[in-house]
Chains A and B, each alone.
Chain A
Amino acid sequence: MRSILRYVVRIYPRQWRDRYQRELHALLEDIPPTWRTVFDVTKGAIAMQIHSGSLLSIGGVLLGVTLLAGLLISQTGRADYRSEAVILPDWPRLNAEAASVLSRDSLANIILHNNLYKEDRAKASLEDLALRLRSSVLLIATPAGDSSRGPLRIRVSDRDPAQAQRASAAIAQRFVNANAASLIEQANLPVRPDRPPFGIALRIALAIGVLAGILFAVVQAFHIWKPVALLGLAGAVLGAAAASALPRSFDGLSVVSCRTTDPAAVRNLIALTTAPEELTALVQRFHLFPGDSRPEQRLVQSLNIHPYPRPRGNPATRTGNGSYDITIQFRYSDQNTAQLVTEAIGARLTEADNQQRAGIASEMVAPVFVHAATQAPRGSIGLIAGLVLGIVSGGLLGYRRSLA
């Protein structure tokens, strides 16, 4: 308890301690150490910090800076414009057409026909831009009594409001042209960007300001600026370096639907598609796992093909009870390869030759999505984690030194 009291005395302002610390320590040696004493000394230290003005001035400046930052972020930060078109789908048909309308070829076609991403087309491939467009499209089903029978909102977010409108209008039109839906509302031209609300930005800034004020007051009270700053910086650099050095991986995801009630037939189809000669062909075609002595084995480890029964049938394929969905998941270090391999496996599952041998019909119902796998560290996460670890270890080290 006495050691805790010695630590607490260090919360007093430096100037105060120069004058009174020795005699306060003498007094604390004379009285029995209790939690009440610890509380009283802590209260006195905080009161003296406020009295000396250091805590208030630091907290005030930080609060002002963060409030200003919050204001700037909420007003000038990156803001996307959202355009929405509303369609009334023929749901089974829409489910069947979704893969085709949102496929890379279809989106690339939309980009070219509507002159989207004009400036970016010189810098990025059409495939990349199609992927970018896919990631900016959100399909939002609106329940209307029966949850699956409501209208569907097609929302596209973009920095350019006119571009967002053209894209959402074009995608809606594709569904209409495929007789999968009728148009209810034309895509709107957004007037205001979708910025984070001012109030939320201010509240976040306020919380950050108060926390930073407390942190800085503690740092100042213990005079641990140097270790905190140095180790914080070193931690941030090391964290960012570690995050960028660690290999990243991407998941390709797609779904194939089978018109059968026979699980053995589905398993047979999967077995045909993942036969050793098929895997070898995939490895050779996409040059998978170069430098690995057993690339086929690595492919099997990175590939997850799993059938799921759909007892209520699949509206996309108009099958009755007992159809199957096969999910394909392939993890790879290169984003494009992850997508291409997933797509190739999906195509193989739906090829007539394989279907004939398995005795069932199947078709792809979901386009290939690719996203960074969960274990892939992002640069910013590494940087922040390193910074926090550096500050904490710097604080502890400086604190120990200041006690010594």
Chain B
Amino acid sequence: MTRNNDPALLVLASLADGDKHGYAMIEDIERFYGARLGPGTLYGAITRLEESGWIAPVQSDDRRQPYTLTALGRKSLEAELVKLNELIRTASRRLKQA
């Protein structure tokens, strides 16, 4: 469902170590991936992920809304990472052989 450069995958990866609100996700993604998502792009990804049931809003009194990874989202992220790992292994092996 996601592509490796998909903002949705970056959001899932960001939420993998704990709940975060939008601004925290942008900062976190910039730290571990080097790309800064715009607010429109981030909320496009959040909308799709929430519709798929992969993330859910967390009850909060803060004006900033935190999100959490659901069990379904965690399984999907794991499946996506397996595919990515396979892709990385295959590409690396072929590069060495060439």
Contacts and interface: CB of A to CB of B under 8 A. Distances in A.
Nearest to B65: A23
A17 B39 CA distance: 14
A20 B44 CA distance: 10
Query: Could you tell me the dominant secondary structure of chain B's interface residues?
Result: helix
A37 B38 contact: yes
A229 B92 CA distance: 62
A27 B38 contact: no
Given A16-B47, A31-B26, A48-B47, A26 B41 contact: no
A23 B64 contact: yes
A24 interface: yes
Contacts of A30: 22-23, 64
A388 to B, nearest CB: 32
Contacts of A37: 38-39
Interface in B35-65: 38-44, 46-47, 63-65
A12 to B, nearest CB: 9
A47 interface: yes
Contacts of A24: 22, 39, 43
B44 A23 contact: no
B38 A26 contact: no
Contact of B40 (A22, A23, A43): A43
B77 to A, nearest CB: 22
A22 B65 CA distance: 9
A204 interface: no
Contacts of B42: 27
Interface in A20-51: 20, 22-24, 26-28, 30-31, 36-37, 39-45, 47-48, 51
Given A27-B23, A31-B23, A41 B64 contact: no
Interface in B1-58: 21-23, 26, 38-44, 46-47
Contacts of A27: 21-23, 26, 39, 42-43, 64
A20 B38 contact: no
A287 to B, nearest CB: 72
Contact of A23 (B22, B38, B41): B22
Contacts of B22: 23-24, 26-27, 30
Interface size class of B (residues with CB under 8 A): 10 to 19
Contact of B64 (A26, A40, A51): A26
A182 B38 CA distance: 78
B23 A40 contact: no
A41 B38 contact: yes
Contacts of A31: 23, 26, 39
Contacts of A42: 40
B39 A44 contact: yes
B31 to A, nearest CB: 15
B44 A44 contact: yes
Contacts of A43: 38, 40-41
Interface in A35-77: 36-37, 39-45, 47-48, 51
Contacts of B21: 23, 26-27
Contact of B39 (A28, A47, A51): A28
Contacts of B38: 36-37, 39-41, 43-44
Given A22-B65, A27-B21, A47-B44, 4 more contacts: A27-B22, A36-B38, A44-B39, A44-B41
30 contacts: A16-B47, A20-B46, A22-B63, A22-B65, A23-B22, A24-B22, A24-B39, A24-B43, A26-B22, A26-B63, A26-B64, A26-B65, A27-B23, A27-B39, A27-B42, A27-B43, A27-B64, A30-B64, A31-B26, A31-B39, A37-B38, A37-B39, A39-B38, A40-B38, A40-B40, A43-B38, A44-B40, A44-B41, A45-B40, A47-B40
Interface of B: 21-23, 26, 38-44, 46-47, 63-65
The 9 closest A-B pairs by CB, nearest first: A44-B40, A40-B38, A23-B65, A41-B40, A27-B22, A40-B40, A30-B23, A26-B63, A26-B64
Interface of A: 16, 20, 22-24, 26-28, 30-31, 36-37, 39-45, 47-48, 51
